[in-house]
Amino acid sequence: MKEITKTAFEGYTYIEGGVCAAKGFKANGLYCGIKKSEVPDGNESPFGNKKNDIGMVMSDVMCNAAAVYTQNKVKGAPVTVTKSNLAKTGGKAQAVIVNSKNANTCNADGEQKATRMCELAAGQLNIKPEEVIVASTGVIGQVLPIEPIEACIEELATGLTYDGNERAATAIMTTDTVKKEVAVEFNCDGKLCRLGGMAKGSGMIHPNMATTLNFITTDCAVSSEMLQKALSEVVKITYNCLSVDGDQSTNDMVALMSNGMAGNEEITAEGEDFEVFKKALYIVMMNMTKMLAKDGEGATKLITCVCSSAPDLDTAIIIAKSVIRSPLVKCAMYGADANCGRIMCAMGYSETDCDVTEADVYYTSNAGKIMVCENGKGLSFDEDKAKEILTEEEIEIFIDLHRGTSQATAWGCDMTYDYVKINGDYRS
What pLDDT does residue 427 have? 52
Say yes or no: 331 and 285 in one domain: no
Rg (CA), the chain: 22
d(CA 240, CA 370) in angstroms, rounded, equals: 28
Say yes or no: 258 and 322 in one domain: no
What pLDDT does residue 253 have? 83
Kindly report the three-state secondary structure assignment for every residue of the chain: CCCCCCCCECCEEECCCHHHCCCCEEEEEECCCCCCCCCCCCCCCCCCCCCCCEEEEEEEEEEEEEEEECCCCCCCHHHHHHHHHHHHHCCEEEEEEEECCECCCCCCCHHHHHHHHHHHHHHHHCCCHHHEEEEEECECCCCCCCHHHHHHHHHHHHCCECCCHHHHHHHCCCCCCCCEEEEEEEEECCEEEEEEEEEECCCCCCCCCCCCEEEEEECCCECHHHHHHHHHHHHHCCHHHECCCCCCCCCCEEEEEECCCCCCCCECCCCHHHHHHHHHHHHHHHHHHHHHHHCCCCCCCEEEEEEEEECCHHHHHHHHHHHHCCHHHHHHHHCCCCCHHHHHHHHHCCCCCCCCCCCEEEEEECCEEEEEEECCEECCCCHHHHHHHHCCCEEEEEEECCCCCEEEEEEEECCCHHHHHHHHCCCC
In a domain, 58, yes or no: yes
Say yes or no: 306 and 290 in one domain: no
What pLDDT does residue 221 have? 98
Number of Cβ within 10 Å of residue 24's Cβ equals: 17
Say yes or no: 56 and 101 in one domain: yes
d(CA 344, CA 321) in angstroms, rounded, equals: 13
Q: Which domain holds residue 166?
A: 13-294
In a domain, 159, yes or no: yes
d(CA 218, CA 271) in angstroms, rounded, equals: 19
What pLDDT does residue 173 have? 85
CATH number at residue 338: 3.10.20.340
Say yes or no: 92 and 193 in one domain: yes
Handedness of CA 301, 47, 245, 72 (dihedral sign): negative
Say yes or no: 279 and 353 in one domain: no
Active-site pick, 89, 174, 211, 352: 211
In a domain, 140, yes or no: yes
Give the residue among 108, 284, 315 at the shortest CA–CA distance from 199.
Answer: 284
In a domain, 3, yes or no: no
Say yes or no: 284 and 391 in one domain: no
Which of residues 266, 294, 322 is at a domain's end? 294
In a domain, 79, yes or no: yes
Say yes or no: 282 and 335 in one domain: no
Say yes or no: 346 and 198 in one domain: no
Say yes or no: 105 and 40 in one domain: yes
Q: Tell me the whole-structure pTM to 2 decimals.
A: 0.85
Residues 6+ apart with CB under 8 A from 139: 35, 101, 102, 103, 426, 427
Q: What domain count does the chain have?
A: 2
What pLDDT does residue 423 have? 60
Per-residue pLDDT of the chain (428 residues; tens, 9 = 90+): 467 788 899 999 999 999 999 999 999 999 999 976 544 444 443 334 578 999 999 999 999 999 998 777 777 899 999 999 999 999 999 999 999 999 898 999 999 999 999 999 999 999 999 999 999 988 888 999 999 999 999 999 999 999 999 999 999 987 777 888 999 999 999 999 999 999 986 544 445 443 468 999 999 999 999 999 999 999 989 988 887 644 455 667 899 999 999 999 999 999 999 999 999 999 999 999 888 887 766 678 899 999 999 999 999 999 999 999 898 999 999 999 999 999 999 999 999 999 999 999 999 999 999 999 999 999 999 999 999 999 999 999 999 999 999 999 999 888 876 666 666 665 55
What pLDDT does residue 49 have? 53
Which of residues 276, 294, 312 is at a domain's end? 294
In a domain, 324, yes or no: yes
What pLDDT does residue 198 have? 96
In a domain, 228, yes or no: yes
In a domain, 148, yes or no: yes
Say yes or no: 126 and 178 in one domain: yes
CATH number at residue 138: 3.60.70.12
Which of residues 248, 266, 294 is at a domain's end? 294
What pLDDT does residue 195 have? 98
Say yes or no: 287 and 169 in one domain: yes
Known catalytic residue: 211? yes
Q: Is 297 exposed, middle or buried (0-12, 13-18, 19+ CB in 10 A)?
A: buried
